[in-house]
Amino acid sequence: MSSSHLSVASVREAFEQGLRLHQAADLAGAEAAYRMVLAQDDQHADAWHLLGVLASQCAQPAPALALIQHAIALQPAQADYYVNLANAQQALGLSEEASHSLLKALSLNPQLAMAHNNLGLLRQGQRQFAAAEHHLRMATELGFTAAWSNLGSLLALHGRLTEALTCYESALRYAPDSLEARYNLANAQVQAGQPQEAIASYEEVLARAPSHADSWNNMGIQLGKLGRIRDACVALRTAMSLAPQNAAYHSNLIFFLDYDFAIDAAAQQRERHRWWQQHIEPLRLPTPTFENSRDPVRKLRVGYVSADFWRHSAAFTFAPMLQHYNRSEFSVFCYANQQRADDLTAELQRSVDGWRDIAELDDAAAASLIRSDQIDILVDLSAHSAGHRLGVFARRPAPVQISAWGHANGTGLPEIDYLLSDAVTLPPALAPLYAETLTYLPCTLTYSPGLDLPAVSPLPALTSPLTFGCFNRLAKVDATVLAVWSQLLTAIPDARLLFKSPELSDSAAQDALLASAAAAGITEERILMQGKTSQLEHLAAYGQVDICLDPFPHGGGISTFEALWMGVPVLTLLGDTQVGRLSAGIVSAVGLTDWVAVSKADYIDRGVHLASNLPTLAAVRSQLRTVVATSVAGNPQRYADEVYKIYRQLWQKWTRI
């Protein structure tokens, strides 16, 4: 019923009419009714209070604050008034005042579940996590069902995933139609390493809310991690269609397109250029000027930007540049865009001259910070992988800007001057495709496991059947790869194939692999499978392998280096794109060019030939760790020296502009 049809005979009737209209979401009608009440009784505290609630609902926190404060002056012992006062205070950024209001509400009514819930969320925002958990648990015990989901999010944030999953399941038990709880459950399943379950949960959200863009995006990421690249790209394109201005969705698509076998290097770079056109070019960012001294030989300030300054695979590839630099010639600063930290984070912090957390800063503020630090060379360590800050680089806070190591296949940003790679991984013929100028290192990556390695074992084939190995993610091993490996096994009748991957801790994954292998003609008795282990046990497992087989067209990176460190040569197929050539670049950098095939037939022929000469294979095994350690690619100090030599050259080039 609208305000024009109000018919009231008393203050009580008018107030009850306002409540009914308010509950029916007729906010204008409810406001008219409450004001009619106050016209007859200006001491009616509930009417003042609910007018304040209406103002909050209409995104008018300042009037809401004044109205609710007036109600409290009339009725200072009403606990729920203080809860809504806190809502208005928080909307105005008055978190301390909101905290006092919620504590006042609980002093008046310790059983007020909503006050506990809201105070728990407030304490979480204040990073008082123990207090946040206490109040959210109180809210659940008092029957505030939404608090289950809030508690789950808090626990998930701190890695307490089993408890978080239980909370979300409780939330859905009390509110089975809650899309928020279902979505939060899916996110927790992702964190818990349950991609199949997470996909099913996202699908349930999308069945009822098909325009929920975040679910499409998150589901696409999980599909991609399972190797369902085409399905992943469909989901990500759907997310982009729902939120075309979301640059992160677009970056996720770019990341997985690199693993789409049907997409060539030119198409990969065109999509990066589209990202720049859609998300950066319209900003019309001004061309900066720099006050950095152009002295070509002075001490330089180098900045690194990443979300992966923690025990993450990417960090193992760029950590040497933070740990092995000449402090008389360079100062190093890290700009960390991450929420998590661990022992490696602490180690890297101790290694560098400056550490800045930029996760809470927007791109303009982060760029301003970098500029204030007078960084000469700024290095992107993420490209389009998760947590990147390409928007910072678009603002050009440093005279020389570089992308390297973390998914080093280009960014599409003309504001980034150079892409570090090697001539095998990204040959000169591909250079015209890239927005950046290709600049060559001895190898795209360096990698040292950073622990006491297990001893290299004698060649297993000297005493037992020859064993091939694949320690890559199973998503890289499709029917095409298995068909080639089947031919290799046919040519060596007693050979076996060991798969080791975290997914194989699950029996369903084992069954799926056996079925795929059988379809390719590889019988079960020729397959060995091992799942997730500690890093040391993982490395020791290479002692069971004579030759590692690199999948294609998406080969290895860290896995290739690990095999080489353990004395196991890697047979790889030179592909057409960066992810298909990286392993060949690593193998070539340590001198094993005979192990790089140029076609599938060549891959099979080389595999048979190299496996047939056990004395040579044993000699390679006994020498390989030393070969890797003495190569530039395998020696972090020498590799870092080469990197900083290139930095100096690029800086000197800029000084001549």
Sign of CA dihedral 204, 206, 212, 214: positive
Which pLDDT does position 5 carry in this prediction? Answer: 43
Q: Which residues contact 453 (CB under 8 A, 6 or more apart)?
A: 539, 565, 566, 625
Q: pLDDT (tens digit, 9 = 90+) per residue, 85-105?
A: 999 999 999 999 999 999 999
CA nearest to 261, candidates 434, 582, 480, 586: 480
3-state secondary structure at position 296? coil
**Contact yes or no for 371/391 (Cβ under 8 A):** no
Which pLDDT does position 122 carry in this prediction? Answer: 95
**Contact yes or no for 268/257 (Cβ under 8 A):** yes
Which pLDDT does position 137 carry in this prediction? Answer: 96
Q: What percent of the chain has pLDDT over 90?
A: 86
CA nearest to 535, candidates 430, 470, 451: 451
Q: Please state, in angstroms and as integers, the Cα–Cα distance from residue 140 to each residue in 118, 135, 160, 187, 550, following that order.
A: 12, 9, 18, 21, 51
When mean pLDDT is compared across 175-179, 411-415, 575-579, 607-611, the lowest value belongs to: 175-179
The letter for the amino acid at 197 is: E
**Contact yes or no for 604/495 (Cβ under 8 A):** no
- From CA 226, how far away is CA 195, in angstroms rounded? 8
Mean predicted confidence (pLDDT) in 204-232: 95
Pairing mode, strands 570-573 and 596-597: parallel
23 pLDDT more than 70: yes
Q: pLDDT (tens digit, 9 = 90+) per residue, 383-394?
A: 999 999 999 999
* Residue 4, number of CB atoms within 10 A of its CB: 8
CATH topology classification for 3-185: 1.25.40
Mean predicted confidence (pLDDT) in 346-365: 97
Which pLDDT does position 4 carry in this prediction? Answer: 41
369 pLDDT more than 60: yes
Q: Please state, in angstroms and as integers, the Cα–Cα distance from residue 183 to each residue in 95, 160, 176, 201, 231, following that order.
A: 27, 17, 12, 7, 20
Q: What is the dotted CATH code of the domain comprising 300-440?
A: 3.40.50.11380
Could you tell me the two tokens for 79? 């606990």
CATH topology classification for 211-285: 1.25.40
- pLDDT higher at 269 or 168: 269
Q: pLDDT (tens digit, 9 = 90+) per residue, 112-140?
A: 999 999 999 999 999 899 999 999 999 99
Q: pLDDT (tens digit, 9 = 90+) per residue, 443-483?
A: 999 988 777 899 999 999 999 999 999 999 998 999 999 99
Q: From the centroid of its chain, how far is CA 150?
A: 22
- Give 27-85 as a DSSP string: HHHHHHHHHHHHHH-TT-HHHHHHHHHHHHHTT-HHHHHHHHHHHHHH-TT-HHHHHHH
Which pLDDT does position 192 carry in this prediction? Answer: 85
Q: What is the pTM of this model?
A: 0.85
Cross-strand pairs, 438: 419
Q: What percent of the chain has pLDDT over 70?
A: 98
CA nearest to 561, candidates 468, 447, 451, 647: 447
Q: Which residues contact 273 (CB under 8 A, 6 or more apart)?
A: 412, 435
- From CA 380, how far away is CA 318, in angstroms rounded? 11
Mean predicted confidence (pLDDT) in 241-259: 96
CATH topology classification for 460-631: Rossmann fold (3.40.50)
8 pLDDT more than 50: no
Task: Give, in degrees to the nearest 5, the angle at Cα 473 between 456 and 202.
Answer: 150
618 pLDDT more than 80: yes
Average model confidence (pLDDT) across the chain: 94
Task: Give, in degrees to the nearest 5, the angle at Cα 580 between 279 and 310.
Answer: 65
Which pLDDT does position 599 carry in this prediction? Answer: 97
540 pLDDT more than 80: yes
Q: pLDDT (tens digit, 9 = 90+) per residue, 138-167?
A: 999 998 988 998 999 899 888 898 999 999
Which pLDDT does position 209 carry in this prediction? Answer: 97
Which pLDDT does position 194 carry in this prediction? Answer: 87
Could you tell me the two tokens for 631? 């190569």
Residue ranges of alpha helices (H) inside 126-246 are 129-141, 146-157, 161-174, 179-191, 195-208, 213-225, 229-242
2 pLDDT more than 70: no
9: pLDDT confidence band, cut at 50, 70 and 90? low
Cross-strand pairs, 499: 470, 529
Q: Which residue has the tokens 């290739």?
A: 560
77 pLDDT more than 60: yes
Domain residues of the chain, as ranges? 3-185, 211-285, 300-440, 460-631
Q: pLDDT (tens digit, 9 = 90+) per residue, 182-195?
A: 999 999 999 888 88
**Identical fold, 300-440 and 460-631:** yes
